[in-house]
Structure 1
C-alpha cells in the first residue's frame, strides 16, 4: 500500500532543498548592488573638485550603503549578523556604517520554544520536567548559532544557563561563507590589496567548530583552569560547566549575574554616578585592564585563547568584575606564530620598524610594497592591524583610500590562523573606543611578550 500523499510535506521538502539557492541569490543580488554602487560613485565623485563637497558626497554614499548592508544582514540573519559584528566598528568602517550596524549585534530571532524543547529533550534523552525544577520559556538571548535560557536543575539551589543550538542553521551558514569566499577572491584581485580569502577560510574553520558544544565545554574548562593557575585571582570570571549536561548541541553551565558591557553607561547613570567623573573612569579602566591582561596571557603565554570578545560576550558583575562568556570560537596558535606575534608586540611597543618587518617574515605575512618609506608604512600597517591604539593621523583602516597603508604596502599572503588574533585586537579596540579610553595593548602586553620570548631563549634576537 502506498503511503498517504501530503502536498504540504512535498512543499516543505522542496523549500528546504532550495533554501541555499535562494539565499545565495539574495546575497549576490545585494552584494553586486552595493559594490557597483560604490564603483559608479567613485567615477562620479572624481568630477567634483571641491574637497568639502566631495566629503559630503562620500558621507551620503556611505549612508545609502549602510542602509543596504543593514537590510541584507537583518533579512538574511545568521552568519551575516557575525559580519555586522566584524565590520561595524569605528576603525574598520565609515561612521555611517557603524551607526547603522552596531544595533544589529546578537539580534537573531529566537527559535520557538516548542522546537528548542524537542532539541533539548532529544539531546539529553529526558523530558525537561525530569531534569529541571524551573525552565524559563523566554530566552535570555538569541545569537546566530544558539539561544540561551535560564533554568534551575532539580535538587539544586543555584541557577544555570542552558545553551541550545538552532536546528538546521549549520548548512545555511556554510552556504553564506562559501558565497563570501567567492566575493573575497574577487575583491582582493580588483580593489583591496589584502589576502581576504585566507581570512574567510579561517572564518569557515572557526564557525564550523562553533557547532560542537562538547568542544566548547572543553575550551571553557581549559581557559578557566589556565587563568586560575596563572593568577592569584582570575582577572575575569569563566562559567563553570555542568559536565554531565553537555552534548554536541546542548551546553549547561553556571549562571553568572551581571549586566552586558553595552549597558554599562546606562547602569552608571542609573546609580547616580557621573559618567565622566573619576569613579566611572576608574571602573572603566579596571574593566579594560582585566580584559587586556587576560588576552595578553592567553595569546602570548599559552597560545590558546577565547577569540570572540565582542560586547555581547562580556558581562560586568559586582565590583567591576568582568565575566567572559561564549567559548565557541577559540584558537590554538602554533608555537611559531605565538612567538612571532610576541616579537611583533615588542616591536610595536618599542616603536621598532625593523623588528616589525622581521616579525612579518616570521609570521608568514607577505607584502608587495613599492612605496617610499616602505619600512615606516609597513610599521604603520602593523600598528593599525595589531594594536588597540591607532597610529597618528589614522582613524580607520580605509582599505579603498589611496593614502592608506594597506593600499601602499599590499598584503599578498596572510596566515589564516592569525586572523583570530587580528579580530581579537580589533574587538578590544572597539571596546576601548566605546569606553572612551585610548590605550595601547602592545604596551600592556610587552612584559608578557618578553617573558614568552625569554622562555623560548630568544629575547635578545
Structure 2
C-alpha cells in the first residue's frame, strides 16, 4: 500500500522483488544434481549464468532444453534457503513479538503467523506448478482477457521449468510508450484480470502481484489491447469464501455510488470494521483520502490529497493502520495486497455480473 505507508518503508523492500543477492552457479549446479541427478549441462544446451531476476526465495535463469531445444525460464530456489528458513521464522517471530511488547501501538505479530503459514507453500515449486495449471484453466473461460501464464515444462520441489516469455516491466514506461502501448489500456487490462480473481466465482487469488511478477508483451495479432499481460510467480494463491466475495463486491459498488452508509455496512460484514476504523479502512482499499473519497473515487488524486495523507501518517495514522491490519481477517490482507489502486482504477463489469 505505497499510497499509505511511508516511502522509507516501501522503497526499502523493493529490491526483494527481483534484485536480491544471487546464489552462485556452483551452488545451483549442486542443487540440480541433488534433486534431479543431472547437471546443468546434462539438462540444458544453453544456460545463462546471470539470472534474469533474483528475488528473496528464488532466482530465474534463461536456458534452452537439451532434448527439445525449447527456450525456457528456470526458477531455482536459493539452495541454502531450506536450511535457514526455520531460523529466519523464529527470529521474525521473536522480533515481532517484542515489537508488540515494547511498542504496543505497532502490533505486527500477525505478520510472523502469516509467514509461517505462507512460506512453506511458497517453497514448494510443485505446488506452484499446480497453481499455474489452475489459473490457466480458470482463465480459459474468461473472455477478452489479456492474461498470459507461462506453461509448466516440469517441476521439482526446488526447481520449476517454464516456457520463456519476454515482456516489459509494467513500470517501464519508456518501453511501453515506445511500443505504442496505452497506459490506460494496461491499467484496464490489469483491472480485468485482478477483479476476476477477487470477484469471479471459484477464481484463485494471486497474492503477490508486484512489479517484479508482471510484464507487458506487445501482441501485434490484435489491436485492442495490442499487448499481453504476463503473470509470473504463482507460489502463493488463496481461495476467497463466496460470502466474502459478495460482501466485498457490494462494498465496492457502494464506493462507486458514494453511498457511505452502505459502505459502512459492508465494511463491517467483510472485515469487522468498526465505526471508528471505517475512514482508515476506506482509504486503505481505495488509496484515497477519506474526505476526497466521499466526493468521488473516480477523480484523480491531487497533490494536496497526497500531502494530507502524508501529514496524517506523521500525526499518528500509521499506528492506527498497523492496528487495523492486525485485526482484519487474513484473507482481507491478501485481497488488499492484490487490490492496488492502479488495478481497480478502471472498474469492470465483473462485479455487477457477480451481484446480478
Report the TM-score, using the length of structure 2 for normalisation: 0.80
Of structures 1 and 2, the larger Rg is shown by 1
Output one character per residue of 1:424-451: Cα deviation in whole Å (capped at 9) or x when no partner. 22xx33xx4xxxxxxx827605x32232
Output the aligned Cα RMSD.
3.2
Q: Structure 1 pair 285/258, CA: closer, same or farther in 2 (3 Å)?
A: same
Matched, 1:241 2:152: yes
Matched, 1:141 2:50: no
Q: Structure 1 pair 107/345, CA: closer, same or farther in 2 (3 Å)?
A: same
**Which structure is higher in helix share?**
1
Partner in structure 2 of residue 451 of structure 1: 353
Aligned residues: 333
Partners of 1:131 and 1:140 lie apart in 2 by: 19
Partner in structure 1 of residue 336 of structure 2: 422
Output one character per residue of 1:273-300: Cα deviation in whole Å (capped at 9) or x when no partner. 8xxxxx6xx6111111111110000111
Partner in structure 1 of residue 5 of structure 2: 92
Matched, 1:123 2:32: no
Is there any run of 5+ residues in structure 2 with no aligned partner, and where?
Answer: 219-225, 293-304
Q: Return 248-257 or 177-186, whichever deviates more.
A: 177-186
Partners of 2:329 and 2:189 lie apart in 1 by: 28
Partners of 2:47 and 2:98 lie apart in 1 by: 48
Partner in structure 1 of residue 229 of structure 2: 322
Q: Structure 1 pair 310/136, CA: closer, same or farther in 2 (3 Å)?
A: same
Work out whether residues 384 and 397 of structure 1, in 8 Å CA contact, stay in contact via their aligned partners in 2. no
What are the within-5 Å matches in structure 2 for residues 12-161 of structure 1? 89-93=2-6, 95-98=7-10, 102=14, 105-161=17-73
Q: Secondary structure at the match of 1:317?
A: strand
Q: Secondary structure at the match of 2:347?
A: helix
Partner in structure 2 of residue 215 of structure 1: 127
Q: Structure 1 pair 185/339, CA: closer, same or farther in 2 (3 Å)?
A: farther
Partners of 1:185 and 1:303 lie apart in 2 by: 34
Partners of 1:389 and 1:359 lie apart in 2 by: 18
Partners of 1:117 and 1:405 lie apart in 2 by: 46
Report the TM-score, using the length of structure 1 for normalisation: 0.64
Output one character per residue of 1:111-132: Cα deviation in whole Å (capped at 9) or x when no partner. 1111111212322233333332
Partner in structure 2 of residue 168 of structure 1: 80
Partners of 2:273 and 2:175 lie apart in 1 by: 46
Structure having greater relative contact order (Cα 8 Å, sep ≥ 6): 2
Matched, 1:413 2:354: no
Work out whether residues 97 and 109 of structure 2, in 8 Å CA contact, stay in contact via their aligned partners in 1. yes
Work out whether residues 193 and 410 of structure 1, in 8 Å CA contact, stay in contact via their aligned partners in 2. no
Shift in Å at residue 214 of structure 1?
0.8
Q: Secondary structure at the match of 1:239?
A: coil
Work out whether residues 113 and 137 of structure 1, in 8 Å CA contact, stay in contact via their aligned partners in 2. yes
